[in-house]
Structure 1
Amino acid sequence: MPQKYTVIVGDVIKSGKIRERDRYWSSLQDVTNSINTKYREEFYAPITILKGDEISAVLNRLHFSYAIMRDFQEMFYPYQIRFVSVYDEIDIALETRNASLMDGPAFWKANEYLEYIKKRKLYFKFDFGNNVIDNMLTTIANLVAFIKYDWSEREKEIIDLYEKTKRQEIVAKEFNISQQSVSDALKRAHWQIVRESEEVILKVLRSYK
């Protein structure tokens, strides 16, 4: 019997041009395992790697869909990945709890959207059944992703440590730079507006019934 679930489908960007294949494959596996563990309770079917450059998963609810995709993107750095999340019916192999075996309208839509955002060179697409909200979430998520994927490696390192410690002096000491340089790096990366925008997405998704 068909049932509605939230599907996530991801595609690694320019995977064919990645040279260090062993490093890439190890990173993809490690991030997949980490996300599956962190969000264990949210998965109906955990993230499965398909064809070496695609992933798919099925969630019990849509509330954490963006958090899962965002965390995957950040942990997967420096590699890039685009995501689609769709809420719709699954009518094949639902009982297997294996996303690679399942099929149905949710997956059909997700794959169509994935091709669409590939052509548009976007990073996200949401379809949860409300066009106004879906378009708003999609727009914000894409803008945030464009900013984050423009971060330099040093900016990302500074941001990661600052978010762990919440103290600029610790970051400054670790990187042997001034606190002003830390502050400037956070501003250049638009760190505050990025996190505030992400929180808007998370808050909207939490409000879904």
Structure 2
Amino acid sequence: MLTSVEHLYSIVVALTDHLRPHSIRLAVASGEIEFGVDDQDVSQMDGEAFHRATELLKSIERTGLRFDLDTRTVPLDTAVADEINLLLHLRESWTDRQRDVIELYERTGNQQAVADDLDVSQQAVSNALRGASWPFAETIETRLRRTLEAYGR
């Protein structure tokens, strides 16, 4: 359960990265959640949010998408979900080497530091980042995170 979509993309990325190479589908829907007698037992939960999320999962399974969102904010939900799907598609195309370079670059912010850590040239790091469309993806991810921060306001 989320109380805000602010960290939604980070959660989606964490789950997909952790479960890689297996692919998953995720759906997020707002709505009421009913608790059973024991509110610690998730299997006792039910409600509109679960039913709407189930419908979203069925829909994305038919279309081949990985993610969908329904917070009753149409058409923004569709635009955000589509942006997340495109970013997930791009991330799925990255090689293990590109992932390693990007991860180190995100931590250090410095190509030479990444090169030193991986014992490669700075040009090899630059090529890996460019090959992964990293500057473009990073810009879109940053803009998406800002959108999600403002989403609930």
User: Which TM-score applies when normalising by structure 2?
Assistant: 0.89
Note the C-alpha offset of 1:159.
Answer: 0.8
Q: Higher helix share goes to which structure?
A: 2
How has the CA–CA distance of structure 1 residues 176 and 132 changed in structure 2, closer, same or farther, with 3 Å as cutoff?
A: same
1:185 maps to 2:131: no
Letter in 2 for 1:78: P
Q: 187-196 or 68-77, which moves further after superposition? A: 68-77
Contact 2:6/2:148 (<8 A) preserved: yes
Unpaired stretches in structure 1, ≥5 consecutive residues: 1-57
- Superposition misfits of 4+ residues, deviation over 6 angstroms: none
Give distance in 1, aligned partners of 2:123 and 2:23. 30
Note the C-alpha offset of 1:94.
Answer: 8.6
RMSD: 1.8
Note the C-alpha offset of 1:77.
Answer: 2.6
Contact 1:94/1:102 (<8 A) preserved: no
Q: Secondary structure at the match of 1:85?
A: strand
Letter in 1 for 2:76: I
Of the three residues 16, 19, 33, the one matched with 1:73 is 16
Of the three residues 145, 149, 153, the one matched with 1:206 is 149
How has the CA–CA distance of structure 1 residues 124 and 170 changed in structure 2, closer, same or farther, with 3 Å as cutoff?
A: same
How has the CA–CA distance of structure 1 residues 86 and 167 changed in structure 2, closer, same or farther, with 3 Å as cutoff?
A: same
Note the C-alpha offset of 1:188.
Answer: 1.0
Of the three residues 148, 161, 171, the one matched with 2:114 is 171
Q: Secondary structure at the match of 1:84?
A: strand
Unpaired stretches in structure 2, ≥5 consecutive residues: none
The corresponding residue for 1:148 is: 91
Note the C-alpha offset of 1:98.
Answer: 4.2
* Residue correspondence of structure 1 range 29-44 to structure 2 within 5 A: none
The corresponding residue for 2:100 is: 157
Contact 2:98/2:132 (<8 A) preserved: yes
* Residue correspondence of structure 1 range 21-100 to structure 2 within 5 A: 58-93=1-36, 96-100=39-43
Contact 1:171/1:182 (<8 A) preserved: yes
Give distance in 2, aligned partners of 1:101 and 1:184. 51
Percent identity, aligned pairs only?
30
Note the C-alpha offset of 1:95.
Answer: 6.5
Note the C-alpha offset of 1:97.
Answer: 4.5
Give distance in 1, aligned partners of 2:20 and 2:119. 23
Note the C-alpha offset of 1:72.
Answer: 1.8
Give distance in 2, aligned partners of 1:71 and 1:80. 12
Q: Secondary structure at the match of 1:59?
A: coil
Q: Higher strand share goes to which structure?
A: 1
